[in-house]
Chain A
């Protein structure tokens, strides 16, 4: 099993550009989620999904979109990047009420 994979590992964007952060898991987990991690702020939930076709907002959803067309994939889209979105982004998956596993992260810088 590859577990949770994320691409790219690093990305630099200019303000206003859009991009998609990819996330995939091969554990057949129902629940997938996206977090951002900033110094002193801990992990903050952006969006999550409890199954294919179902998504919902976390605590910091503004400026981000998600979709869940398959169980395996959960991409995160930045619609118009802003410097405030400079962060480290983690995707995670879990079987409901069981262990949650994280991907290796995407380090995003918005200039």
Chain B
């Protein structure tokens, strides 16, 4: 089953605000992946992280692989209405035989 704690579950923000969400676990991970899912669509990969401490950006999005290898965060700067959607974290837990573990998602609503 899922062993990733993703928070917050939902966020309601004003356009232009910055957003931060994170995933934590008691297990150690080899990779962290962050996805966005729009209604009626499949998850789309935003950022992939492969090394502890790694900080990677994709436009207004920045994600980090926690130094303990048990957590990761995603920041969105200067949010815009099209940022609305569900954001998932996922990772390769050590010993999981390539099966990704998923968080349950953060529902982001942006008020124009």
Contacts and interface: CB of A to CB of B under 8 A. Distances in A.
Interface string A74-111: 00000000000000001000101111111111000000
B105 interface: yes
A102 B42 contact: yes
A31 B78 CA distance: 36
Given A42-B2, A42-B104, A99 B98 contact: no
Contact of B33 (A4, A50, A59, A100): A100
B48 A98 contact: yes
B100 A100 contact: yes
Contact of B103 (A31, A42, A58, A59): A42
A42 B35 CA distance: 13
A19 interface: no
B83 to A, nearest CB: 19
A45 interface: yes
B72 to A, nearest CB: 15
Looking at A4, A43, A98, which has the most chain B CB atoms within 10 Å of its CB?
Answer: A43
A31 B105 contact: no
A45 B101 CA distance: 9
Interface residues of B, number: 24
Q: Is the interface of A mostly helix, strand, loop or mixed?
A: strand
Contacts of B97: 50
Looking at B44, B98, B102, which has the most chain A CB atoms within 10 Å of its CB?
Answer: B98
Interface string B79-112: 0000000001010100001111011110000000
Interface string A39-59: 000110100101000000011
Interface of B: 1-2, 30-31, 33, 35, 40-45, 48, 88, 90, 92, 97-100, 102-105
Interface of A: 4, 31, 33, 42-43, 45, 48, 50, 58-59, 90, 94, 96-105
